[in-house]
């Protein structure tokens, strides 16, 4: 039979006395931290935050306002984060970390004038296109999915292009460059691409040769 010495008993009481408030404090601190973290995530994941920088508000946002993604008969809009920020937590975190590079260039003033922005438009566009191609246009597919399209209700040109895209495994951005923002000069990027004239809100579209698909 073992007995607990007074010194050990005092040590246990002291340990309990110290650990209990620490655990309680840690628990509530965790809740506060997680709540604050999620608040910050949502606060930086909306259109108003995106256009709080004049580089966005005075350039790409004005272009976006002329497109069907901004204004249409149904009133359903795709805002900046809908197209440029992943929905799932892991990829959203990766995108937020990558955005630190944009903050860095904001500080540098890399595109703080219309002239600077236009000079970098092709580079910026190609970066976004490459990301979308690598993710199979993941953010587009939050709203648009081949398997739920009723091709019979589409115009012949769209039906043909979407049917071809489905069978050939193409991704949205392959054909739909320039759907929400003005295109850069494509001559220096892809000689097979031709700048078309969009009929919806004057939105430019890309029309490519039959070997790469047809833009809508």
Query: Which amino acids are annotated as binding site for heme, given as ranges?
Result: 50, 53, 56, 80, 83-84, 102, 140, 143-144, 172, 175-176, 181
CB 56 within 8 A of CB 81: no
Quote the CA–CA distance of 169 and 119 in Å, as a whole number.
33
Q: How many helices (H) and strands (E) does the chain have?
A: 10, 2
Instruction: Classify residue 35 as exposed, middle or buried by CB count within 10 Å of its CB (0-12, 13-18, 19+).
Output: exposed
Place of tokens 């709203």: 143
User: Residue 169: how many CA atoms within 13 Å on its side-chain side?
Assistant: 2
Assess contact for 111 and 55: CB atoms under 8 A.
yes
Q: Two tokens at 23?
A: 């655990």
* Binding-site residue set: 50, 53, 56, 80, 83-84, 102, 140, 143-144, 172, 175-176, 181
Backbone angles phi, psi at 113, to 5 degrees: -130, 155
CA nearest 137: which of 185, 180, 100? 180
């Amino acid at each position: 039979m073992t007995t607990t010495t007074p010194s050990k008993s005092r040590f246990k009481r002291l340990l309990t006395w110290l650990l209990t408030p620490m655990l309680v404090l840690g628990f509530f601190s965790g809740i506060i931290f997680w709540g604050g973290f999620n608040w910050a995530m949502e606060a930086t994941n909306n259109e108003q935050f995106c256009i709080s920088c004049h580089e966005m508000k005075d350039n790409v946002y004005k272009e976006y306002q002329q497109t069907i993604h901004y204004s249409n008969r149904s009133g359903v809009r795709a805002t900046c984060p809908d197209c440029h920020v992943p929905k799932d937590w892991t990829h959203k975190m990766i995108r937020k970390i990558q955005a630190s590079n944009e903050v860095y260039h904001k500080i540098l003033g890399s595109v703080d004038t219309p002239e600077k922005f236009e000079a970098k438009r092709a580079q910026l566009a190609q970066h976004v296109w490459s990301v979308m191609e690598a993710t199979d246009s993941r953010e587009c597919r939050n709203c648009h999915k081949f398997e739920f399209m009723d091709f019979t209700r589409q115009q012949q040109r769209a039906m043909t292009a979407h049917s071809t895209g489905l069978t050939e495994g193409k991704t949205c951005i392959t054909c739909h460059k320039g759907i929400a923002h003005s295109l850069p000069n494509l001559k220096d990027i892809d000689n097979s691409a031709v700048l078309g004239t969009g009929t919806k809100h004057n939105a430019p579209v890309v029309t490519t040769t039959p070997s790469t698909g047809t833009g809508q």
